[in-house]
Structure 1
Amino acid sequence: MPDVSDILVSSSVMTHPVRLAQAQRLAARLRLDGLAIDPDPEGPPSALRTAQVAWSAAAPEASHHLVVQDDVDAPVELLEIVARAAARFPDEALVFYTNWHARNGAAARLAALAGAAWVRAVPDEFTPSLGVCLPAGTAAAFRADARESAERHDDELLSVFFRGRGRMSLLAVPNIVEHIGTSSINGHAAQGIRRAVCPTSAADAAPLLSRGRVLEEPGWIPYMRYGEGYVRLVGQEHGPDAGRGHHRWREALPSTGLTEGDVLAAREAHLPPELAAEVARAFGDAFAEELWTHCLLLGRQAALASRRLGPAPGEIPVDVLDRLRCSAVATAGLAGLPPERRPEAGPDEVRTMAAFAWTAIHAGNLLVRPGA
Structure 2
Amino acid sequence: MSVVPISSAVMTHPVREEQARELAGLLGLGGLALDPAPHDPPSALRTALVAWSAVVPGAGHHLVVQDDVSAPQDLLALVGRAVQRFPDEALVFYTNWHARNGSASRLAALAGASWVRAVPEEFTPSLAVCLPVDTAAEFTEFARDSAERHDDEVLSGFFRTKGRMALLAVPNVVEHIGTSSINGHAAQGIRLAVCPLGADDADGLFQRGWVLEELDWLPYMRYGEGYLRLPGQETAADGGRGHIRWRDALPAIGASSRLTEERVRDLVTEQMPLGLATEVARSFGPDFAEELWIHCLMLGRQAAGAAHRQALRQGAEPMGAPDEEAIGRLKEAAVSTVGPAGLSPERRPEAGPEQTRLMTEFAWTAIRAGERLWKS
Normalising by the residue count of structure 2, what TM-score does the alignment of the two structures yield? 0.96
Q: Does structure 2 retain, via aligned residues, the 8 Å contact 1:4–1:84?
A: no
Shift of 1:325: 0.3
Shift of 1:97: 0.4
Q: Does structure 1 retain, via aligned residues, the 8 Å contact 2:172–2:197?
A: yes
Aligned equivalent of 1:357, options 355, 359, 363 = 363
1:340 maps to 2:340: no
Shift of 1:314: 5.5
Match of 2:5, as an amino acid? L
1:190 is matched with: 187
Query: Secondary structure at 2:331's aligned position in 1?
Result: helix
Query: Secondary structure at 1:186's aligned position in 2?
Result: coil
Q: What aligned pairs does 1:147-166 form with structure 2 within 5 A after superposition?
A: 147-166=144-163
Match of 2:363, as an amino acid? A
Q: Does structure 1 retain, via aligned residues, the 8 Å contact 2:9–2:33?
A: yes
1:318 is matched with: 324
Write out per-residue CA displacement over residues 68-110 of structure 1, whole angstroms, 9 at most, x where no aligned residue: 0000000011100101111100000000000000200000000
Aligned equivalent of 1:247, options 239, 244, 248 = 244
Query: Secondary structure at 1:261's aligned position in 2?
Result: helix
Q: Does structure 1 retain, via aligned residues, the 8 Å contact 2:264–2:294?
A: yes
Match of 1:51, as an amino acid? A
Shift of 1:367: 1.4
Shift of 1:262: 2.1
- Which segments of 5 or more consecutive residues in structure 2 lack a partner in the other structure? none
Q: Does structure 2 retain, via aligned residues, the 8 Å contact 1:4–1:83?
A: no
Shift of 1:268: 2.0
Q: Does structure 1 retain, via aligned residues, the 8 Å contact 2:91–2:166?
A: yes
1:220 is matched with: 217
Aligned equivalent of 1:204, options 201, 205, 225 = 201
Match of 2:349, as an amino acid? P
Match of 1:260, as an amino acid? E
Go from structure 1 to structure 2 and tell me whether the alpha carbon gap of 1:295 and 1:4 turns closer, same or farther (over 3 Å shift).
Answer: farther
Shift of 1:294: 0.3
In 1, distance between residues paired with 2:43 and 2:229?
29
In 2, distance between residues paired with 1:134 and 1:142?
9
Query: Secondary structure at 1:247's aligned position in 2?
Result: coil
2:273 is matched with: 272
2:287 is matched with: 286
Of stretches 309-318 and 100-109 in structure 1, the one that deviates more from structure 2 is: 309-318
Q: What aligned pairs does 1:92-103 form with structure 2 within 5 A after superposition?
A: 92-103=89-100
Write out per-residue CA displacement over residues 107-155 of structure 1, whole angstroms, 9 at most, x where no aligned residue: 0000000000000000000000000000000000001111121111100
Q: Does structure 2 retain, via aligned residues, the 8 Å contact 1:172–1:209?
A: yes
Match of 1:207, as an amino acid? G
In 2, distance between residues paired with 1:138 and 1:316?
29
Write out per-residue CA displacement over residues 221-266 of structure 1, whole angstroms, 9 at most, x where no aligned residue: 1000000000111100001111000000000111222111221222
1:304 is matched with: 305
In 1, distance between residues paired with 2:290 and 2:2?
48
Match of 1:290, as an amino acid? E
Of stretches 264-273 and 132-141 in structure 1, the one that deviates more from structure 2 is: 264-273
Match of 1:210, as an amino acid? Q
1:25 is matched with: 22
Q: Does structure 2 retain, via aligned residues, the 8 Å contact 1:109–1:197?
A: yes
Shift of 1:348: 0.4
Query: Secondary structure at 1:66's aligned position in 2?
Result: strand
1:328 maps to 2:334: yes
Shift of 1:369: 4.1
In 1, distance between residues paired with 2:308 and 2:202?
23
Match of 1:275, as an amino acid? L
1:368 is matched with: 374
Match of 2:68, as an amino acid? D
2:263 is matched with: 262
Query: Secondary structure at 1:110's aligned position in 2?
Result: helix
Q: Does structure 1 retain, via aligned residues, the 8 Å contact 2:336–2:360?
A: yes
Q: Does structure 2 retain, via aligned residues, the 8 Å contact 1:219–1:234?
A: yes
Shift of 1:269: 2.0
In 2, distance between residues paired with 1:293 and 1:106?
14
2:109 is matched with: 112
Write out per-residue CA displacement over residues 319-347 of structure 1, whole angstroms, 9 at most, x where no aligned residue: 10000000000000000000000001110
Aligned equivalent of 1:231, options 224, 228, 233 = 228
Q: Does structure 2 retain, via aligned residues, the 8 Å contact 1:75–1:176?
A: yes
Aligned equivalent of 1:48, options 45, 52, 55 = 45
1:11 is matched with: 8
Normalising by the residue count of structure 1, what TM-score does the alignment of the two structures yield? 0.97
2:164 is matched with: 167
- Which segments of 5 or more consecutive residues in structure 1 lack a partner in the other structure? none
Query: Secondary structure at 1:269's aligned position in 2?
Result: helix
